[in-house]
A and B are shown apart, each in its own frame.
Chain A
């Protein structure tokens, strides 16, 4: 009885220690979220120097958002760039992860390689993008290098062609994220019971068989986690294309992402449309997060 009382007295400290988190969360995340949703139901923008609204318009902003069709284009751009970044990234990460975690292979210098492949993840995305902009500009070092070795006879306009502009953005993102993915997958592979590999070896399985029949199936929860979090990250694609194209999304708006679109509305103070777009993005991420939550939740129950 007495011990119980004491525990209760201590346990109020649980609430006390939570105060900073809750307060900051409510002020800087919850209230902004509510006002963002609130804004999405109001007409509120600047037409020249005159302020239009705020006036309640119900779902008008959402209707306009989808009727204009831009959101579809930007969604497509974002997804296309995510896919051409994610496919090589996951394949390379699986391969490297398998090699790093394979004890029989006895690779030397893995620490060096891990250090190098993780490095681009810490680089300031805007500076990295500015670097690529200068390197791949029409008179930049890459073009002069390619011309010096006789690969091309005149500068290739990397930033004026849809394919190469999207490709560059995907390349930068891939470079920045494959090291991180490799380390996540490697940690997952190291967590697999080594007895399984030994048993497979005794049965004479080749390393390809081991990879496809043991490693990959057991890695599925982590793979789903990596894929969904990468998709959530991909939807937030902003710094790299914003700096590379100076916010225009050129050529022909083919590299304009959803967040760049949002950023544009925020700068032009078109708060109604920005609100509607934010809510759409919020709903998409919430659904994706729920999937992650389910996957990792299941994983936890198992072990």
Chain B
């Protein structure tokens, strides 16, 4: 009797497991479809001409991609400038941010000093404060420093990035033994050299993950650059997208509009596909304790 009951339960559970697996796949496929559908439509529409686009929707790509691209490049939006500006700002931000955040984390991790017990909680406290709430003072400061239309106010502030700092600190706790630093001292290595030659290489995995995140968030940033950059030659891609939206878009060749959107989205997607494993792991790693 007992055995029969057990068996029944096993069977029941087995069936349940099977059904749950099918349900899981169904939901996952639906959700994946919802994530990818928009980009597929974007790709299709970027390859079709304006008149094709007006005549209705199809799932088959057209042959107008090169033509749309040519029209966009020869049009009024300075997209090559935009791309170059976005690249400069994002690359410099990522480099400065990871280098100095690692340095800050190292200061807290490797040294004992009086103010440490105040500074560490302080950095954690300011972590959540959004940049928008200090934007007013920031804009006034930038105009007083005569740095409007310059990339400096977009790049230099990333030196003080509490979120990146926190990730680096977490990573150091798990993989940077203090005995190693002791050993370097005994060998006569100066503190600054120890940081550059020993600590930085050991932090490579964390640095790579955070460099990608900083790059992407800088690449996608619209709010702050839009307040600082007014000269057409200095604008980054998100500002150009906003300009495209603000223009009387019905007069536009829609093929061009789609190519422009694709131009801002697809480079990130391609890079992501190559690095996705590290990125997804990085998100999980940084999250364990928030």
Nearest-Cβ distance from residue A69 to partner chain B, whole angstroms? 21
Q: Contact between B137 and A124 (Cβ–Cβ < 8 Å)?
A: no
Q: Contact between B139 and A21 (Cβ–Cβ < 8 Å)?
A: no
Grouping DSSP codes into helix (H, G, I), strand (E, B) and loop, the A interface class, with mixed when no group exceeds half, is helix
Nearest-Cβ distance from residue B242 to partner chain A, whole angstroms? 6
Checking A12, A20, A183 against B287 with a beta-carbon cut-off of 8 angstroms, the contacting residue is A183
Query: Which residues of chain A are near B261, meaning CB under 8 Å?
Result: 127, 130-131, 134
Q: Counting CB contacts under 8 A, is B41 at the interface?
A: yes
| Interface residue total, chain B, C-beta cutoff 8 A | 100
User: In the complex, what distance in Å separates the CA atom of A148 from the CA atom of B265?
Assistant: 28
| Interface residue total, chain A, C-beta cutoff 8 A | 106
Q: Counting CB contacts under 8 A, is B201 at the interface?
A: no
Q: Contact between A263 and B223 (Cβ–Cβ < 8 Å)?
A: yes
Nearest-Cβ distance from residue B67 to partner chain A, whole angstroms? 18
Query: Which residues of chain A are near B135, meaning CB under 8 Å?
Result: 32, 36, 262, 266, 278
Least CB separation from B9: chain A residue = A204
Query: Which residues of chain B are near A300, meaning CB under 8 Å?
Result: 289
Q: Counting CB contacts under 8 A, is A5 at the interface?
A: no
A117/B125 contact (C-beta < 8 A), A10-B191, A122-B216, A281-B132 known:
no
Q: Contact between A175 and B157 (Cβ–Cβ < 8 Å)?
A: no
Q: Counting CB contacts under 8 A, is A119 at the interface?
A: yes
Query: Which residues of chain A are near B112, meaning CB under 8 Å?
Result: 7, 11, 14
Q: Counting CB contacts under 8 A, is A156 at the interface?
A: no
Q: Contact between B223 and A17 (Cβ–Cβ < 8 Å)?
A: no
Q: Counting CB contacts under 8 A, is B219 at the interface?
A: yes
Query: Which residues of chain B are near A242, meaning CB under 8 Å?
Result: 222, 242
A-B contacts at CB below 8 angstroms, number: 292
User: In the complex, what distance in Å separates the CA atom of A201 from the CA atom of B270?
Assistant: 43
Q: Contact between B111 and A10 (Cβ–Cβ < 8 Å)?
A: yes
User: In the complex, what distance in Å separates the CA atom of A25 from the CA atom of B154?
Assistant: 14
Q: Counting CB contacts under 8 A, is B51 at the interface?
A: no
User: In the complex, what distance in Å separates the CA atom of A39 from the CA atom of B133?
Assistant: 13
A21/B160 contact (C-beta < 8 A), A130-B244, A135-B41, A145-B57 known:
yes
Q: Counting CB contacts under 8 A, is B66 at the interface?
A: no
Chain A 205-240, CB-CB to B under 8 Å as 1, else 0, gives: 011000000000000001001000100100110110
Q: Counting CB contacts under 8 A, is B87 at the interface?
A: no
Chain A 95-108, CB-CB to B under 8 Å as 1, else 0, gives: 11001000011110
Nearest-Cβ distance from residue B154 to partner chain A, whole angstroms? 10
Checking A17, A114, A120, A243 against B195 with a beta-carbon cut-off of 8 angstroms, the contacting residue is A17
Query: Which residues of chain A are near B137, meaning CB under 8 Å?
Result: 31-36, 39
Residues of B whose CB lies within 8 Å of any CB of A are: 9, 13, 16-17, 20-21, 24-25, 27-28, 31-32, 34-36, 38, 41-42, 45, 53-54, 56-57, 100-101, 103-104, 106-108, 110-113, 115-116, 119, 123-130, 132-141, 153, 156-157, 159-160, 165, 185, 191-192, 195, 216, 219-220, 222-223, 227, 237-238, 241-242, 244-246, 249, 254, 257-258, 261, 264-265, 268-269, 272-273, 276-277, 279-280, 283-285, 287-290
* 10 A-B contacts (beta carbon < 8 Å): A22-B160, A24-B100, A33-B137, A105-B17, A126-B220, A141-B45, A183-B280, A243-B241, A285-B133, A289-B128
Residues of A whose CB lies within 8 Å of any CB of B are: 7, 10-18, 20-22, 24-25, 27-29, 31-36, 39, 92, 95-96, 99, 104-107, 111, 113-120, 122-128, 130-135, 139, 141-142, 144-145, 148, 175, 179-180, 183-184, 186-188, 191, 204, 206-207, 222, 225, 229, 232, 235-236, 238-239, 242-243, 246-247, 259, 262-263, 266, 271, 274-275, 278-279, 281-282, 285-286, 288-289, 292-293, 295-296, 299-300
